[in-house]
Chains A and B, each alone.
Chain A
């Protein structure tokens, strides 16, 4: 079951510059920052209510976020839904014939995560996340 929006991901060119708006102007507290090598990003998670805003800056030119920036420029990148069982959620999604990017959950900034294909959801890149305890 999908419980809530875990976070909304925003692709930015420069994380520090983006923080001056989201952290300093909006006043959202930074909950976590990290480099996620296999996604090719440096990220910050900022708390908003029960959810978060995730700012993503590419650290190389190969990752999905780098390609997104090249094609579209900065902006809203993906929506992440929180689940208590990402493996079960992904299995159910695949059983419905919905196209996915990750065939199995993997470790991400928000816990165990996986991405579905935007083609399957009207151009929206959807992530599932099961936060680590």
Chain B
């Protein structure tokens, strides 16, 4: 039985979110779903719709955001894969029994948790539960 229902979004770390939105809307015709600034996560971001998922383009705005170091070290690129789950607390418990720690936090009206790349073969994997 699969833990995750679908791909929620793929996050792409960029140096300039406005330039990236221009590139991805012009190159692929993807509509902008929403954009804004998330001061608590030190980033400006935009979500573009693709089918039932999104691409998140985000620009870290301070070194409090680890993606700034990611961009410095290796350049812009795919940063994170986010999967949608139905009940994150239960999933976190289930994974915990297998030795995989997921700290659940609330961001706005969503619950999110991260699985360390050491468990996922190098992928920063986010699990997200949207409000019902």
Contact = CB atoms under 8 A, between A and B. Distances in A.
Interface string B1-42: 111111100101010000110011011111000000000000
A29 B28 contact: no
Interface stretch (B45-53, B60-68, B105-113): B45-53
Interface in A1-26: 1-5, 8, 10-13, 17-18, 21, 25-26
A47 to B, nearest CB: 8
B120 interface: yes
Contacts of A13: 121
B2 A28 contact: yes
B81 A8 contact: yes
B98 interface: yes
Interface residues of B, number: 45
A93 B26 CA distance: 10
B122 A51 contact: no
Q: Secondary structure at chain A's binding surface: helix, strand, loop or mixed?
A: mixed
A51 B53 contact: yes
Interface string B108-132: 0000000001011111100000000
Given A74-B123, A122-B77, 15 more contacts: A2-B30, A5-B10, A5-B51, A25-B119, A55-B121, A74-B121, A76-B10, A76-B77, A79-B10, A79-B55, A81-B28, A96-B26, A120-B27, A122-B24, A124-B78
